[in-house]
Every structure is written in structure tokens, then in C-alpha cells.
Structure 1
Amino acid sequence: MDVHSTEEDNTIRYPALDQMTDNPFHLWEDHGKNSSLLTLASGILSDKQYDIIFIFLIYTSQLISSCAIIASSLSIAVFVKLGFSEPSNISLTTLAICDFTLAMLLTWSNLCFWLTYHNVRLPFHGVNVTYLTGGTQWAFISSTVAWITAFISFERCLCILVPLKVRRLITPRGTFVALLIIILLTFCPSFFAFVRYKFVWVFNPYLNITILNTIPVNSESAILLEKISFVICGVIQPLVAFSIVLICTGLLVVQLRKISSWRLSVTSAKSHRIQSEENPVSNSSAAEARISQKEERLVRMVVAIATIFIVSYIPTCIMLLCFVAFDEFNLSGTYSRLFIVFSYITSLGQPISGSVNILIYYKMASKFRSVFRRLIRLDRQEQETHELK
């Protein structure tokens, strides 16, 4: 491949766009009836099957992402009105902001892929640039969401198991610092991707245009840094966070059952005005189970949020394990088409979670429901309707 550059315009000249990088995405040079968004060297899916599935996933993901953007925006607005005197409000607001960011990144990727599919000339390579500015950032923020969910679950778990000790540490300031550390450790490593790839202006003589593109930096240090960063931040961190959420959610469910059993026994004892001597409630178990109704509602809400996260994150964990287990299951491997399709399928989980969370808040949090109804003026409309009647 002949590559030419000039000092005047600092532009790299390539014979064709599809030869400039090892990335398996590239545009068809034939813009006729067989035009397709992407062509990959090999794989299980045929061109027709791949195009149908990929375009369907684009439209589906955009519909879900739009719902997530609206839901996350409303959640953020409600939590801002509620204030941040409660540590839980800070955690849930941060989670909503991350959900909003993920939905926006997915929208950006969908828009670029859709325009590329319809052969719209963009000032940048629609796939390569989008992959670096959208897909990479999405993957790391998704890891941030996993760790925030793990933090929320772990916090509620400690509040029930050792309430007297933990409540001194779980303050608004402490929660803010913990979330800041999580963001720094999970999202900031995404910038290492820009060490492995760099932006360049590429001239394509076939289309007679110069566009922004990316090329890999093939230095040993850049390659090593990319591999280390991906293994730690792209595989280990998400799987560890998922495990923490899974364990903490299980403990919370068990503890909620203890609380329900304890309250049922106390209610039964009061109704009969006697305490059964055969099944007494010990002071220690009563102390563990005795939490306020408000705390119990918050725990149930966290369990619901964590459960939805677990269900939506299972495909991501399976894909990460496949990526580690099979060498050809990657962007440039034999099963690259399957890798891209599964990547898109797993990316749907987080927007779904972001869309559903607001329903959980509305159902289980009375203050959130009250502020939300005032925010959308639902209470005012009901009051006016009642006055007209």
C-alpha cells in the first residue's frame, strides 16, 4: 500500500478508505444496489443476514435509547428538586446521569451508522471515528454503571447488617467521594484508547474528499497499554462489579425475608396479647430486623434496581467470557460479525435498565412520586379536573 503525505496540509493519502486500518469495518466502494453499511472479511452471517439484523438492531436500540434519555432526564430533574441531603439521592442521581450519557452515546453511534448505511458523506469515517468516540466510551461508562450499582447495593446491605457502625460513615460527603473514586477508576482509563489510535485527515481519491479518520499506533508500549487497560477495565472490573451486585442482592433478599418474618411474629403476638414461648423472637434477631418502614422501602427499591441490572447485564458478562475464551471472537477475527451483533444486543441492556428505573422510583418512593407528579403538573391537572366536576 502506498501512503503519501505532504507537509503543507499534513494529509495522509490512501488508495482507498478500506485499507487504512486493521479495523474490519469499511465502506463498500460499490454504491449500487448491493450497497451495505459494513463488510467483514469472514464470519458465520451472510451479507444479507448481517445487514437485516444490524439495521433492525439500530432502529430498536434507538427507540430504547430515546426512552432512556427521557426517563433519565426526568429522574435527574426530580432528584435535583429533592436535594442531596440523603446519600441515596446522590447515588441514584449519579446512576441516572450515567444512564443518560450511555443513551446519548448509543444515539450518536446509531446516527453515524444510519447515515453511513444510506451513503451520506460525512466529514469523518462514520464507523472508525464513531467506534473510538462512541463505542469505547460506552464500554467504560457501562463499567461505571456496574460499579455504581454495586456501591448502592453494598451500601444498603451494610446499612441493614451493621446499621449503627455504617451510618456514621455513609454521609452525603462520603458518598460523593466514593462515587468520584469509582468514576475515576472506571471511566478515565477509556482515554487510553486514544494512545492506541490517533486521528488523522485521510484523502480518498475515489471520492475526491478528505475526511477525519483513525489509524492505529503500532508501538509496543501503546499495544501493551491497550491490552492491560482492556483486560482490567473491560473484563475484570465489570465481572467483579456484577458479582458484588449479585451477592449483595441475595443478602438483601434474605434480610428482607427475616424482617417480614419478624414483623409477622410481632403482629401475631400483639393480636393474641401473648408471646409464644415455643418460638420466641430473640433480642439479637429483633435488633437486626427492626428497621424503619422508610428504610425497608429503600431496600426493596435497591433490590428491584439491582435485579433489573443483573438481568440486563447477564448478556454482557457472557460476551466478555466468550471474548476471553475464543481468540477469533473479536472485531478482526473470524467471528467478527457475530461479535458486532452480540455487542449491539448487549448494549440494549443498559438503556432498558435506564428506562425502567424511573418506574421503580415512582412506584416505591413516595417523595419521588410526589415531586414527579408536580414536575409534570399531573397533580395540578387532577385538581383542576376535580374542581370542574
Structure 2
Amino acid sequence: MMLSLENATDINITSGPTTPYFYTFLDAKKRKVVEIVMDYVVIFGISVIGVVTNTLVILVYTKQGFRESVAVSMTTISLWDLIKCIAGIMNTFSGILSLFDPVAAQSWQNISTAVFNYLISFSSYVTSVMAAYVAVERCLCVTIPLKVKWLLTPRVTLISCVVISIVVFGAFAVMFGIYDIVWTWNASLNATVAIYRKSDFYVSNEVPLFAYYNLSGILWPLAAFLVILVATIIIVVKLREGSKFRVGTQTSTFSKQGEHYSNSKKSGYQDTHVQKHLKRDRQVVKMLLVIIIIYIASLAPRIANYLAKYFVYDFYFLRRHHYLFEFVTYGVLFADSSNGAVNFFVFYTMSSSFRTTFRAMACASKSSPSFST
């Protein structure tokens, strides 16, 4: 992802309100080590895993059919996570390409910074808002279970997912136009390579554009996080109230029917049913807590990064803290990539229906006849 700025004439910087020199953050050798480890090992590996796991999630929900609204919303999240992970692979592909063609690898690296880096970010915003929608959906299922079936049909959920995707992604799509890709001579490589530089659109609208972009980058994920948090609190409270109600109801029922059972049988039967409901409730709460922890871990670095960009002008690409911003961006990309790759493991561990369908598909795949020539 790193763009070499050792020779300022190679990048054709357009001067802004600040001077165009760059503060050094680590030396060139250490930055290269960080680049290799994070880009070509960690993020690339996680992205590959994410492509596989999200493909499996989509296949499982497709196999189950889309009779439930949650299947539609979770499939949409997996589709965006799949896009994010593919973009992660493309963003780090220059590492493999450098083994065969260093010049092409340098061009690919610079182009991917201006294209795929943003695609990863914008996909993350969409999935965070989609996660908030799912949290609201689950909240309604707990608070108004008798009405939610006709209120949130799979068709309504599909329309909502499409609208969320278009609105959120469209809110950031303007940022794809801030850089121009140009070809210039690179003396160190003795070849012509592609670089990215500020576009005329960037220069003409820099102040309002980045004010809008930074605020959007803070408000969208922050709003999503708050919605997830509030919905989860409501769900936890409602489930606890329901558990207490069931315990009280079942205790009353067993006391009325006590003459038909011995005390030992009554106690054992009561405990079995109560524990069954409590276990299911705890499982729902546990899954919600896992989801919110995952999104806290993935959204917190991005929100912090955008807050820093909002208050420190030079903390961005092609500005004085270019190198530091790249280093911090690796942490953000790591969080985004990890979040995009864990869905399968969460669903498999905590959803019995998902686990059953996946195992059935795996067994069917193993038992399918093989043909030999």
C-alpha cells in the first residue's frame, strides 16, 4: 500500500495550505518491513480466508432459502464482506506481482492505494449500517413478535438492504474522484510507472470535500454503533423479563398440578423446562454480545482515525504525515479485514440451523460420486 515519496518530483504534489514536505515516520527499511508483514502476509491472508468464509455463508443461506428476513440481511452483509475481502486481496496483490515484474508491481501498488483502499473502507461503512439494521430487526422480533412477521417480510428486508447499500456507498463514492492516475518516469526503477496525485476536483473542492468526508466517516459508523448498542440493551432487558416471566408462570403451573406428581418428579420436570428456556435466552444474548464486541473492535479504530483526520489536517495521504497515516491505516485495514472474515465462525458456533445446513452440504459434497476416466 505504501507509495514511495523519497523523491518529491516523482509525485507531482500540488501545494496546499501546508508545505509539501513529509515528516519521517520510521526509516525506509523499517517501513518496508511493516509493509511486507502487514500487506503481503497478515491482511492478504485474512482477506483470502474472508473470501472463502463469506462464500460459504452465502451458499448456506441460499441453501436454506430466504423464508426468513434475517437470512436476507445476513446474506447482504456477507456479500459486502466478500467485496471487501476481494478488494483486500487486490490491494495487496502487488506483493505477489513483485516476484515477477517489480515495475508492474509498483504501478499496481499505487493504483490500488487510490482505488481498492477506498473500496475496503466504504464496504465497511455499508456492513456497519447493515449490522445496525439487523440489530433493529432482532429488537423488533423480541419487542413485538406478533407483528414483526408481516412487518418485516423478506421482500421488505431485501428492499431495505438495497436502499441502505445504495445510500451509504453512494455517500462516499465521490471520493473515488479525488485522485488522478498518471504515468511518470521513475528514476530508481528506470521505467515508467503509474502514480496517483491530487485531481483538479480535489484541489478545487478540498476544504468542503474533506470536511464532508471526515464527518461522514465519523457519523455513519458512530450512528451504527449507537443503534447496535441501544438495540442490544433492549433485547437483553426484554429477554431477561421474558425469562423471569416464564420461570414464574411455570412455577405457578407446577404448583397447581402438584397433586398429580411427586415432589421429586415435579422438581425435576420444572428444572428441565426452565433450564431449557434460560439456556436458549442466554445463547441469544451471548450471540448479540459477540456481534457487538466484533463491531466495537472493528469500528473503534476507524472512528478514531477519522477523528484524527478531522482535527489534524496534515494527517492524510500526500500530506506531511503521509507515512504515519499509512502506518495507522494498516491497523484500520486489519480491523476491517478481520471483521469481514469472521461471520462464518460466529454463525457456525452459535446458530444450530446454520451449523446443520453446512454439515449437510459438506456431507453431500463428500458423498457425491466421483467419475474417473
- Deviations 1:156-192 (Å, cap 9, x if unpaired)? 1122223344433211111111111111111124431
Matched residues in 1 for 2:29 and 2:181: separation? 32
**Residue 347 (structure 2) aligns with:** 361
> Residues 124, 22 of structure 1: CA spacing in aligned structure 2 closer, same or farther, 3 A cutoff?
farther
Mapped contact 1:143–1:233 kept (Cα < 8 A): no
> Residues 260, 47 of structure 1: CA spacing in aligned structure 2 closer, same or farther, 3 A cutoff?
farther
Shift of 1:77: 0.8
- Deviations 1:289-319 (Å, cap 9, x if unpaired)? xx99989966754553233222332222222
RMSD: 3.4
Shift of 1:109: 1.2
**Residue 106 (structure 1) aligns with:** 88
- Does residue 1:263 correspond to 2:240, yes or no? no
Matched residues in 1 for 2:204 and 2:318: separation? 21
**Residue 302 (structure 2) aligns with:** 316
Mapped contact 2:314–2:320 kept (Cα < 8 A): yes
Compare 69-78 and 258-267 and name the one that shifted more.
258-267
- Does residue 1:245 correspond to 2:228, yes or no? yes
Mapped contact 1:140–1:233 kept (Cα < 8 A): no
**Partner AA of 1:234 in structure 2:** G
Mapped contact 1:20–1:215 kept (Cα < 8 A): yes
Compare 61-70 and 194-203 and name the one that shifted more.
194-203
Structure 2 unaligned regions, length at least 5: 1-6, 16-20, 259-276, 368-373
Shift of 1:120: 0.9
**Residue 45 (structure 1) aligns with:** 26
Compare 307-316 and 66-75 and name the one that shifted more.
307-316
Shift of 1:212: 3.8
- Partner-residue secondary structure (3-state), 1:200: strand
Compare 292-301 and 362-371 and name the one that shifted more.
292-301
Seq. identity, %? 25
**Partner AA of 1:45 in structure 2:** L
- 1:157-306 to 2 correspondence within 5 Å? 157-204=139-186, 207=189, 209-219=191-201, 221-223=204-206, 226-227=209-210, 229-273=212-256, 301-306=287-292
> Residues 321, 16 of structure 1: CA spacing in aligned structure 2 closer, same or farther, 3 A cutoff?
closer
- Partner-residue secondary structure (3-state), 1:45: coil
Q: TM-score, with normalisation over the residues of structure 2?
A: 0.77
- Deviations 1:64-112 (Å, cap 9, x if unpaired)? 2222221111111111111112110000001111111111111111122
- Partner-residue secondary structure (3-state), 2:151: coil
Compare 134-143 and 219-228 and name the one that shifted more.
219-228
Q: 1:60 aligns with which of 42, 46, 59?
A: 42
Shift of 1:224: 5.5
Mapped contact 2:130–2:161 kept (Cα < 8 A): yes
Mapped contact 1:68–1:99 kept (Cα < 8 A): yes
- Partner-residue secondary structure (3-state), 2:181: strand
> Where is the helix percentage greater, Structure 1 or Structure 2?
2
- Partner-residue secondary structure (3-state), 1:127: helix
